[in-house]
Amino acid sequence: MATVIPFDRTFDPPYGVVERLGPGLRRIVARNPGPFTFRGTATFIVGEGDVAVIDPGPDLAGHIPALLDGLGNEKVSHILVTHTHLDHSPAAAELKARTGAPTYGYGPHGSGPGGIETGGDPDFIPDVRIGHGDAIEGKDWRLEALHTPGHTSNHLAFAWPERSILFPGDLVMGWSTSVISPPDGHMGDYLESLRKVLGRDEETYWPTHGGPIRDPKPFVEAFIAHRRDREEEILACLRDGIETISDMVPVIYADVPPAVHGAAARSLLAALIYLVETGQVQTDGLPDEESAYFL
């Protein structure tokens, strides 16, 4: 039986409005809904007075002005980026220009033989590079950076230990699984990152897309089990003589709209590469980025 992930797709936020979620925590959602962003990108505000902004969002007219209007006379002291996809990092440039706050991130977007993947932000380079375990501190708040690669090689999550909160970016979302797209995305890294957060004690996750996850451990366990299910489905296809990703997608993702089959193919590619790396599948050679549909 396939693993059931308890997705919650009831999230329906107002756009362009700074909402208070709890003491020292606010959010504004960009109006960029879509098949991979759900209702839009959530930009989080941590602290009061002097604040950190997590994931400024896409290059979307009006988003940063609405954020700053909502803050009034408060000062943005830190700009934190979970990773460099076009729905997360581009607005950092406008926010920095308007506030003078430095940007923090793991590093620029990773590149493969064909350069930076479609959807990657080629322009973001953090002013301050941070890695696993690094602390970012402001007035009355302290965040811990967790390197959580897999969705991208430079993906970070941010823990707020005092509040038992994790900002997981796109590592764990409450409405959908994440796309793992080689060469920058890597399934083995993604699974290890899930295990990394599973070993922690945060009680609430605030993903960049969708609503909060209030009981994260069973949720993360289901994500790991779901990826094992996908591996078994791939192995079953191979046993049945289905040997190309283009033929596997309609079988394995029969219940997924065709509009996202391209992304599904990327995740299948990542899973196949992982199966080869772990010795469960043999192939004459791994496919390159340009031949994503073929084994």
Give the per-residue pLDDT at 15.
97
* pLDDT lower than 50: segments of the chain: 288-295
Give the per-residue pLDDT at 69.
98
- DSSP state letter for 167: E
- CA angle 152/153/159 to nearest 5° reads 80
Give the per-residue pLDDT at 292.
38
106 CB contacts (<8 Å, ≥6 apart)?
A: 83, 126, 129, 130, 131, 145, 147, 154, 155, 156
Give the per-residue pLDDT at 266.
93
d(CA 86, CA 96): 17
Give the per-residue pLDDT at 119.
93
Give the per-residue pLDDT at 258.
86
272 CB contacts (<8 Å, ≥6 apart)?
A: 234, 245, 281, 283, 295
Picking from 134, 21, 43, 49, the residue whose alpha carbon sits closest to that of residue 92 is 43
pLDDT tens per residue, range 145-184: 999 999 999 999 999 999 999 999 999 999 999 999 999 9
Give the per-residue pLDDT at 287.
52
Give the per-residue pLDDT at 259.
84
Give the per-residue pLDDT at 157.
98
Picking from 36, 49, 165, the residue whose alpha carbon sits closest to that of residue 88 is 36
Residue 225 in 3-state DSSP?
Answer: helix
Own/partner contacts of 287-293, CB < 8 Å, gap of 24 or more, are: 288/113, 288/114, 289/112, 289/113, 289/114, 289/117, 289/182, 289/183, 290/114, 292/182, 292/245, 292/265, 292/266, 293/244, 293/245, 293/246, 293/249, 293/265, 293/269
Element (H, E) at 141: strand 141-147
pTM over 0.85: yes
